[in-house]
Structure 1
C-alpha cells in the first residue's frame, strides 16, 4: 500500500503549535512597538516636574512670602539639588528624552547659584582671624567650649547666647588669651586688641509694648547686638556682634520669621549709618544669605564664605549641619579664607575667617 507524502503533496510543512504561538508573539510585539510613544513623547509628568524645579530656583525671589514660604524656599535652595537624581532615574527608566533635556534647566540654574561654592577660594595669610560662635544657652560645658575657641588662635572672638550663669566661666577661661572683652546682654566680644566706643545696638524697639520708653538698663540686660571699635595697626575696625530672633515652623503661621526679619532690618539700618570704612559683622543671624530678609545687609556687606570659603560652610545643627545661619560679613577689608570649626557643647558650630586690609 503506497503512503501519501503530505508535505510533498501540499508543497509546505504543516505549522505546529509552537510556530503559531511564536508568530502571535511577534505580532503582539510589533503592535506594542507601533503603539508605544516615541522617546520625545514619554514622561511628560517628569519633564513638567523638572521644569517646575528649575523655574522655582530661577525665580525664587518671586515666590510669595505668605506664611514665610519665600524665606523657607530660599533657606533650603542648596538642597533642591537632591530632587535631580530621582527625576533623572525616572527619566531613564521611562526612556524619556524630553525629561532628560528638561533636567538641564534645574542643573544649570543650581550651578549658576551655587557652583562657585564648590571650589576652594581661600588664600593663605591674613591680618586678623575672626571666630563667631553661638555658644548655646544649654551648653553643658561653657569652660570647655571657651578653651576650644581660644585654641583656634582667633584675634577676635564673638560669642552669642551667653547666659548670666555661664558668663563668669567664659570670662575666666578666656581672660589669659584675650585681655580685652565686652559683654552686653547675651552677646560679647573677646579681643587681643584694645576695644573702645562700645555700645548696644537696639535691634528690637526703643519703646515698650505700651509705647513707653525702655529704660537703658532694660536695653542692656536684654541686648542682642553690640557695636565696638577694635584698634588695629592699620587703623580702627568697626565690629558688630549680633544674635537675631529665632525662626520657627508653626502650624498656623507656617515658617515664622517675624522677629528675625525685624531684627535684620534694624541691624541693616545701623550698619548703613556706620561711618567707619572697615566693618565686620559676626553673629548668629538665624538665616542664610540667600534669604530675602537679609537684602538690606547683603547690599552693604559681603559674606566671607562666598568670597573666600570652600563649600557651603554649614553651621547648624552641630550634629549634622544643613544650613549656614552663623555669619561673618565684611566691608572695606578683604576675606582671605573662611572655614567651620569642630563642634563644641553648643548646637551650633563655630565659624571662622581670616581677613586682610
Structure 2
C-alpha cells in the first residue's frame, strides 16, 4: 500500500465516524492543553519562589535564638540565651570570623506614624545597622541610606518603605520631611524601592532606623530579635585553614598568631582584630569609620582618634624593623590600606 492509499484510507475512516473522531481529537487537545497549563503553573510558582528569596537577600544568613517550638519560655527552660549586640560583635570580629563580610543585628516592633494629621500603623519598625540594606537586598529609590555615623550618634533618622511613604505622605516627596513615630520625631532620609508581596505582611510597609535609636525609643537595650549575616565572597585560593597572607606577613586567626618574615609579632587583642580587618580588606582603602564599626562595634563610646592611635601601634609592631616593604599605608583624607608587596 502506497502512502496515497494510506492517507485516503485514514481520511475515509475519519469521515465514516465523525462524532468519534471529533471526541478523540478533543481528548487529545484537552490532554496537551492540561500538560502545557501544568508546566506553566509549575514554572511560574518556581519563579515566584526565586523572586521571594531574592527579595530577602540571596547571600545572607539569619541567626536566631534557638528557642525551639516552645517559644521564649521553652528556650529559658532549656537554658537558651537570647541574642545580644555582643553576639553580633563576635560575629563581626575578623580575627574570629574572617569569612563574614558584614553583620546587622535587628530589633523589630510596630508603631503608629503621624504626619500633618495623617496616621498610619507601620507593620514593621526595624532597628539595625547600615549593613542590613545590602544583606536584605533593600535598595533606595529616593534619598539615601542612613550612615554608620548616624548609628554611632543615635540620630533620629529613618528609611521608609514605599507603602509607608504612600499612606503617610501621599504624592509628596517624603525625603527630608519629619514624621512622629510612636511619639518620637524622625526625619525621613530615604524611601526604599517597592518589593511587592502576596502574603499577609506587606514588605513595603516598613520603617528602618539606627539600632540604638529604636532601642532607646521603643524596645530597650536588651536582646535583639535576630542577626543578619552576609558572608564574604571567596576570592583566590586557600592559604591554609583561615590563614591570611600578605607578602611575608602571616596571620593565623585560629592560633591567634602573627608572623612577619618568620618573626613572631606580639599584638594585643584589639591590635590583632585591627590587623585582621586590614588583611581581609588587603589592597582596598578602608575609612576610619569602617574600622571603628568593625573592630570596636557601634556601641563604642570613643571617637575616631582611637583608630589613628591603634594604627600607629600596629604599624610600629608590624612594619618597624621588618626586612620587607612597609605594608600599612595612610591615604590622607580617606583612611588606611594594607598593600600586598608587588612581586
TM-score, normalized by the shorter chain, greater than 0.5: no
| TM superposition score normalised by structure 2 | 0.25
